[in-house]
Each structure stands twice: as structure tokens, then as C-alpha cells.
Amino acid sequence: MRNRHLALFWGIFRKEWIELKRYPFNTISGIITVYFIFLLFFFGYNFLGGNLLSGARTLEAFIVGFFIWTYAIGAYSTLAWGITQEARAGTLEQLYMTPLGYGTVAMYTIIANFFWNLIWVVPILLLMMITTGRFLHFDLITLIPLLILTIACGYGIGFITAGLGLIFKKIQSFFQILQFIFVGFIALPVEKYPLFKFLPFTLGAKLIGKNMIDKTSIFQMNGVDLLILLFVAFFYFGVGLIIFKLCERIAKDKGLLGHY
Amino acid sequence: MIKNFNKNTIIYCENLTKVYKNKKQEVRAIDGISFGLKRGEIVGFLGPNGAGKTTTIKCLCRLINPTQGRIFIDGVDVIKKPNFAYEKISAVLEGNRNIYWRMSTKENLEFFASLMGYSPQEVRHRIDELIETFGLKEKIGTEARFLSRGMQQKLAIACALIKDTGILLLDEPTIGLDVETTYEVKDLLKRKIAQKGKTVLLSSHNMRVVEDTCERVIIINNGKIIADEEIKKLKEFFQVNSYRFEIAGRVDDRLKEEFSKKFLGAKLSFDGANTLIDVDLKDSMKIYEVLEIFKAKNLRLSGIQNIEPDFEEIYLKLVKDEK
């Protein structure tokens, strides 16, 4: 039997790869830029008398935080930039004209992007570990679900900004500022202020840190924390999707879907 | 009631209205238009810039939400069930802007097929056929951004055709193309697409393309349909009312002025022996008024004939009269 969803997913998965391949400069410059920012933080902090180099846990937490941030901005820009670019290029309207629904296209793009983001996130992680000489623990059974739930917030926020981008065409600077606000969310101390757990990325970053630094597996983690993480992921992703649908309706009412 | 509506009507659009509102004003981009397209029909959709053509086409695709009205595509309510309608409809909306510039010809075709749920294997033969038909064989692996504008537009049409839907909406498919490529695209529409029995709504400013490709035209201006007729009938209608009077010798400029005042759009020319006066008379009784002028000026009439106006002239007359 013909599997239309599989064909659509494969089409999107290939398209994401082709675009990544045809924009090598973007990928390489992205890796270099993020690595450079890492070096700036890393050496800057030490130069200012911080103890990143001496405090092993702080340094490893810093790497984990940076790793999550890299993945989060990759996820966020897929939607925030991706949808805006498609609207500008005139291809967004074509994506809407699929019998499988634009929602399906967006979901498959997210899944494909989650995978292809590894192309630049993994080299950055390796570079950071080599630079600092600190190698983290990799337990994929724990890491993958935690990463999915944490990054889901990035997709949610990406949906919101993409939706706003459909209506207000010139909000690129807002896109960029938002990427740096993510750093704050990741670095917030949830141990001190438990309410921060409900913010995007914050609890996820801590749990991923526990796994990659302290080698705590998902089965040893606090059940309530995992439930909060699940709730936070669904909440931000869901809210993002609802706001996007609302913006999409406004864009269709105002005839802005294909405007540039 | 929609003109010529019957069970064979594949596009049914009733009282379609789109109003854009802002704080200061209300713009009626489409003002209660109704029309239908029969299965297999190729219809031209004409109108000046800002007349409401693109808005109408985008409403048919449910890319713009209409303020009012009903649209059915092969029996499917587009407003309520757009995804079902997308099984039956494909569109080229903005010339060469509907394709992925970083993807090759073949990759674009495969991707657009995947939007309908077709795998590359399933459409392999159709891709080969389209590439052959559209003369893109040598550019199969070339990224779209390196193709000429004409080729990009041909690829955009091919990407709509790979979806294999019964209905094709084309918004300005020949815009920005040189004469040669326009001819090629026209030829493709006429021979390849029409032959496959597809229903096509073609919006274009190029009257030759429309005249050569379509049997019927819908002309829209200020959001309203001002004509929905077969091109042949429009021509007949205007032929009945268009006359050429031949006056021996050259007439003076005062007559030119008088004609221009009394008969809008009257054209006077001199062929070396006679003055030719082309007049469009809505009311055939007005022919006597023309003759009265000749009599008063003592001009010798050497001939009268019905003339077949150019389709472009008909279009311009309709739009001007409506204004």
C-alpha cells in the first residue's frame, strides 16, 4: 500500500539535507561562530578571575549549557527563520497546498531538523570537549528523551516567532535577541528557585547536566521533575502551535501568507 | 445563478467577497463575484493590476480567507475542507518564485510530488516525461537558481503538474518572459496541458497567450466580473458594433476632433487614398449620426464595413467602459 506520509516525510528529510548541503558556508560559519562565542565566554571568564578551569563541575555544566543552547537555537531558527524564509521565497504557499496538511509538513520538518541539527551540534560539542579536556558521559537512552523534551520548548518559541514573522515582516532583530535570552533560561538556578522549572529549557538543562556530568540515568531521576519537564515541553510547544495557528489565520485574513 | 452551471462544473464560486479593513478604510478586493469552470475547460482570467485576480485565485486555493461566499472544487467545500481540495488543485502563483532555488530541477520535482504523498519511485516516469516535455533534460541536475528565468517558470509549471491534479491555476505564468519563451509556454499550455483534459484558470496580461490558449475569458475589474464570455462571442459582439467608414481623400483635423468627442475611441487614419474612420457603436442606430456628420460636411463615403477588432482592443474597451 502507498504510504503518503512516509513519502512526504522522506521528501522533507531530503530537502532539509539538500539545503544543508547546498549552504555549506552557513553550516561551517555557524559552527565557527558558536565555537568562537564559546571560546570568548570560556577564556573571558577565566581571564576575569572566574574558576571555570579549576572548577570541574562548573566547566562541565558550562559545556552542557552551551550544547543545549546550540541545539535550542538550531530548533528555534528552523521555524522562526525557516517559515519566514519560505514565505519570502514564495514556497510557503505551496507547502500549505498539500492534502496532508501544513501541520504535518511542519511536524516532519521539526523531526528532520532535530536529526540534521546533529551535523553542527556534534562538532561543536566535540570541539568544546577537546578545548577544555573534559569529556562528558553519553547515555543515549537518557539523553535523547531529555533532549527532545527540552528542545520542544525551542520549537514552541520558534512557532510563535514564525507566526509573528508572517504578520510583521521585519522582526529579524527580535529573532536574534531571543536567541540570547535562551542563555539566561538555560543558566537559571532551579535548585534555588524551583519555580524556574516551569520556564523553557531551565529544568531540561539541569536534568541533562545530571545525566552528562553526574551519570544519573533517567530511571534514577526525580519522577516529579520528569513530569514537570513533560508538562513544560507540551505547554510551550502547544502554546507556540496555538499562537502560530492564530497568526496564520490573521495572515490568511489579511492576505499576507505569500507577501514579501 | 452561475452562468452555464451544471453537473460538469468543476470550479464553483458563488458570491465571493474579500474585504480588507484597516483603521482608516475598507477595501473591497473582490466584490461578490460568481463563476464556474467546466471540466477540461481552459479559461482566461483577465483584469488590470489590482482588479482582484490574484486574490480570487488565492481564495480558490484557500491561501486567503474570503470574507464571504462559497467555493467548491469538484464538489469539495474549499473553505471547510481545504486539504481535501488540495487533492484536486495545484497552482503556480508567482511565476518563478514557487520553486526551491537551491534544489535541482529533479529535486524540485521530487519534492513537490512528495507534497502529494508520492515517492520518487512512483513519479520517476512522470518526471522523465515532464522534463522531456518542458525541455529541461539538460538541466536535470542544475540548481534552479542557475536556470534562466524562462526555465525557472517552466520548472514552476512542471512542479504544479507533477502533482497530477485535475485543476491547474496559473497566475501570470508568462510574466517577465521574452517573446520566444512566452511562445514556448503558450505552446505547452495549449498542446500538452489541454490535451490531458485538465481544467485551467489562466491569469495573464498577455492577450495573445490568452486568446491562443483559452476559449473563454472572465474579465474582472475593481473586484467585479465585467465579462464572462467565450472569446469567439466577444469578438462577434464587437464585430457587429465595429465599423470602418472610408472617406475619399484626406479629412481635416476638425472632423477628427468632432469624432473623438462624439464617439469614444474613434480612430482616424489615412491610407494614401482614403481616410479610414474606425468607430465602435454600441447602438447600431448611431450609424445614422455618423452619416449625418458626413452629409453635413459634404464628405463622399466610399465604403462601410464591419471590422473584427483585436482581442486586446476588446479587453481595453470593456475595462474602459466599466470605468
Taking CB atoms and an 8 Å limit, are A19 and B102 in contact across chains? yes
Across B16-42, b (16+ Cβ under 10 Å) vs e yields bbbeeeeeeeeeebbbbbbbbbbeebb
pLDDT digits (tens, 9 = 90+) for A200-223: 999 999 999 999 999 999 999 999
Taking CB atoms and an 8 Å limit, are B116 and A5 in contact across chains? no
Residue A63 pLDDT more than 60? yes
Taking CB atoms and an 8 Å limit, are A97 and B64 in contact across chains? no
Burial class (CB in 10 A: 0-12, 13-18, 19+), B225: buried
Q: Least CA distance to A251: which residue of chain B?
A: B64
Our separate counts of H helices and E strands in chain A read 10, 0
Taking CB atoms and an 8 Å limit, are B114 and A7 in contact across chains? yes
Q: Which three cell numbers stand for residue A232?
A: 513544560
Chain A CB contacts of B91 below 8 Å: 93-94, 97
User: Under DSSP, is residue B47 helix (H, G, I), strand (E, B) or coil?
Assistant: coil
Chain A CB contacts of B111 below 8 Å: 11, 14-15
Q: What is the DSSP string of B162-178?
A: TT--SEEEEESTTTT--
pLDDT digits (tens, 9 = 90+) for B303-313: 888 777 777 87
Most A CBs within 10 Å, among B16, B115, B146, B170, to test the A interface: B115
Radius of gyration of chain B from its Cα atoms, rounded to whole angstroms:
24
Query: What ranges do the domains of chain A cover?
Result: 4-254
Nearest CB to A257; choose among B63, B98, B120? B63
Element containing residue B129 per DSSP (H, E): helix B124-133
- B68-73 and B9-21 as β-strands: parallel, antiparallel, unpaired? antiparallel
Residue A229 pLDDT more than 70? yes
Q: What does the pLDDT profile of chain B (323 residues) look like in tens digits?
A: 555 557 789 999 999 999 998 878 889 999 999 999 999 999 999 998 889 999 999 999 999 999 999 999 999 999 999 999 999 999 998 766 789 999 999 999 999 999 999 999 999 999 999 999 888 999 999 999 999 988 999 999 999 999 999 999 999 888 878 888 888 888 888 877 777 889 999 998 888 888 888 989 999 999 999 989 898 887 777 766 778 888 888 888 788 788 778 887 788 888 888 888 888 777 777 888 888 888 888 888 888 887 777 778 777 777 776 65
- The alpha carbon of residue B119 is apart from the nearest alpha carbon of chain A, in Å, by 5
pLDDT digits (tens, 9 = 90+) for B48-71: 888 999 999 999 999 999 999 999
Taking CB atoms and an 8 Å limit, are B94 and A4 in contact across chains? no
Q: State residue B122 phi and psi, 5-degree precision.
A: -65, -30
pLDDT band at residue A155 using 50, 70 and 90 as cut-offs:
very high
Nearest CB to A91; choose among B100, B110, B118? B100
Q: Which domains does chain B have, with CATH numbers?
A: 9-230 (3.40.50.300), 236-322 (3.30.70.980)
Taking CB atoms and an 8 Å limit, are B93 and A12 in contact across chains? no
Check if the beta carbon of residue B143 is closer than 8 Å to that of residue A22: yes
Radius of gyration of chain A from its Cα atoms, rounded to whole angstroms:
19
Residue A117 pLDDT more than 60? yes
- The alpha carbon of residue B63 is apart from the nearest alpha carbon of chain A, in Å, by 6
Taking CB atoms and an 8 Å limit, are B103 and A249 in contact across chains? no
Check if the beta carbon of residue A92 is closer than 8 Å to that of residue A258: yes
Nearest CB to B102; choose among A18, A94, A95? A18
pLDDT band at residue A175 using 50, 70 and 90 as cut-offs:
confident
Query: Residue B52 carries which side chain, given as an amino acid letter?
Result: G
